[in-house]
């Protein structure tokens, strides 16, 4: 994408291009390991040591390189860049991409982290109705410059699946780049849990995907998968990557282990439970672990939630109003 290449070329010409370099055995005059505890030899394994600083200083490692390569291959992407959380990944991606020449077209149900990421940018922000292809196309027709369409593959509010194939076709026709937050689809869809984009063989049509490790994988952190160009761009322009302390090796090893376990995970049991719940409560048939129950009035929702908790069920009550 020429838009990214031009900004990287300018940074290179200024002699300011950043790159990730593994830790060395040199004396530490750079990291935030003020008391030396991160490198202290104890009964704990080396994997339990601290991360010492941001990845551009001393927090990067060969383990990071190895894990990002494995995750990229798993999700059928050219590259992967790990962030400390899904919230930080969306903030880092959208605030870095959102220059004055950019227009973000976003589904009204996208996650708050995407909303916040856009708010940190200088881009134009235009919403479209949830999963409404006509609403999206009308906005695509009127938009100019570099356009990014922002959606979730599985929405956390409604449990709806995005009409990915149709959105991909619209983006291709109007020359827009598609960004898909796969947070809730990671581990659930695809032969090994690669996500809904891979399940539909659309990975080559999507500009960037965000996968989190804190949901189906039961770990911590997140990543952005896409092209090698995108990864290089984010290393240089994503402030949430540049100024955040790296994840410790213990967390990286846990993520690596969870990806290995994910490939043999019994996902069929989850979908059997979903079908059972839907039959018991006469819920709308949606292939999603998120099963919303709509109750009018905040007080009634709180009361119902409290009753469920007293009966031994952990519940979440959400109150949202969406407007176009």
Overall average pLDDT of the 35-58 stretch: 61
155 domain-assigned: yes
The predicted structure's pLDDT at residue 137: 98
The span from the CA of 165 to the CA of 110, in Å, is 18
**pLDDT confidence band for 58 (50 / 70 / 90):** confident
Output the CA–CA distances (angstroms, integers) from residue 37 to 31, 57, 60, in the order listed. Answer: 12, 17, 17
Closest by CA to 98, choosing from 227, 174, 18, 3, is 3
The better pLDDT of the pair 285, 217 is held by 217
SS3 for 97-134 is HCCCCEEEEEECCCCHHHHHHHHCCCCEEEEECCCCHH
Residue 37 pLDDT > 70:
no
Clarify whether residues 314 and 216 are in a common domain: no
CA-wise closest residue to 81 among 184, 217, 209: 209
Paired strand residues for 222:
83, 212
How far apart (Å, rounded) are the C-alpha atoms in residues 104 and 226? Answer: 18
How far, in Å, are 94, 104, 177 from residue 124 at the CA level?
Answer: 12, 6, 15
Same domain, 176 and 321: no
241 contacts 235 by C-beta, under 8 angstroms:
yes
**Residues 33 and 171 reside in one and the same domain:** yes
Q: Identify the CA nearest to 51 among candidates 221, 215, 208.
A: 221
On whether residue 151 sits in a domain, the answer given is: yes
Are 209 and 61 in a shared domain?
A: yes
Distance CA 28, CA 46 (A): 18
Residues 221 and 124 placed together within one structural domain of the fold: yes
- C-beta separation of 221 from 85 below 8 A: yes
| Percentage above 90 pLDDT, the chain | 58
DSSP state of 35: T
Alpha-carbon span 29 to 58, nearest angstrom:
10
Residue 257: which residues within 8 A CB-CB, separation 6 or more?
none
Number of domains within the chain: 2
- Is the predicted pLDDT of residue 86 greater than 60, yes or no? yes
pLDDT at position 44: 43
Look up the domain containing 246 and give its range.
2-262
Burial class (CB in 10 A: 0-12, 13-18, 19+), 192: middle
Asked whether residue 49 falls in the same domain as residue 141, the answer is yes
- For residue 243, give the H/E element and its range: none
pLDDT digits (tens, 9 = 90+) for 154-197: 998 888 999 999 999 999 999 999 999 999 999 999 999 999 99
Tens digits of per-residue pLDDT, 95-140?
999 999 999 999 999 999 999 999 999 999 999 999 999 999 999 9
What's residue 203's pLDDT?
98
- Do 145 and 197 sit in the same domain of this protein? yes
Q: Is the pLDDT of residue 151 over 60?
A: yes
Do both 210 and 317 map to the same domain? no
Task: Give the H/E segment covering residue 79.
Answer: strand 79-83
**Torsion, Cα of 185, 188, 194, 195 (10° steps):** -30
Structure tokens at 119: 């708010």
pLDDT given at position 49: 67
Residues 71 and 215 in one domain: yes
The model carries a pTM of 0.86
- Of the pLDDT bands very low, low, confident and very high (cuts 50, 70, 90), residue 322 is very low
* Residue 225 domain-assigned (yes or no): yes
Q: How many CB atoms lie within 10 A of CB 15?
A: 6
- pLDDT 10s digits, 212-267: 999 988 889 999 999 999 999 999 999 999 999 999 999 999 999 999 988 777 77
């Amino acid at each position: 994408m020429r838009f990214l290449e031009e900004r990287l070329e300018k940074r290179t010409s200024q002699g300011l291009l950043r790159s990730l370099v593994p830790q060395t055995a040199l004396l530490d005059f750079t990291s935030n390991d003020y008391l030396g505890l991160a490198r202290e030899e104890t009964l704990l394994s080396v994997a339990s040591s601290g991360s010492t600083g941001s990845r551009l200083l001393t927090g990067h490692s060969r383990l990071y390189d190895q894990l990002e390569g494995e995750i990229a291959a798993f999700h059928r992407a050219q590259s992967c860049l790990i962030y400390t959380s899904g919230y930080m990944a969306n903030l880092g991606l959208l605030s870095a991409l959102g220059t004055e020449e950019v227009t973000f077209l976003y589904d009204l149900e996208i996650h708050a982290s995407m909303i916040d990421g856009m708010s940190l940018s200088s881009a134009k922000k235009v919403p479209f109705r949830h999963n409404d292809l006509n609403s999206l196309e009308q906005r695509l027709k009127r938009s100019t410059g570099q356009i990014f369409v922002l959606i979730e593959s599985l929405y956390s509010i409604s449990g709806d699946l995005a009409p990915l194939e149709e959105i991909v076709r619209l983006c291709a026709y109007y020359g827009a780049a598609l960004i898909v937050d796969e947070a809730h689809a990671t581990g659930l869809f695809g032969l090994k849990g690669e996500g809904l984009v891979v399940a539909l063989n659309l990975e080559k049509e999507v500009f960037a995907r965000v996968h989190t490790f804190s949901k189906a994988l039961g770990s911590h952190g997140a990543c952005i998968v896409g092209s090698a160009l995108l990864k290089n761009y984010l290393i240089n322009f994503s402030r949430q990557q540049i100024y955040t302390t790296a994840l410790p090796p213990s967390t990286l090893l846990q993520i690596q282990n969870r990806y290995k376990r994910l490939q043999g995970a019994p996902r069929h049991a989850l979908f059997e439970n979903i079908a059972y719940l839907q039959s018991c409560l006469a819920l709308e048939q949606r292939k999603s672990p998120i099963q919303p129950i709509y109750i009018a009035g905040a007080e009634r929702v709180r009361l119902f939630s409290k009753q469920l908790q007293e009966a031994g069920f952990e519940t979440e009550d959400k109150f949202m109003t969406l407007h176009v």
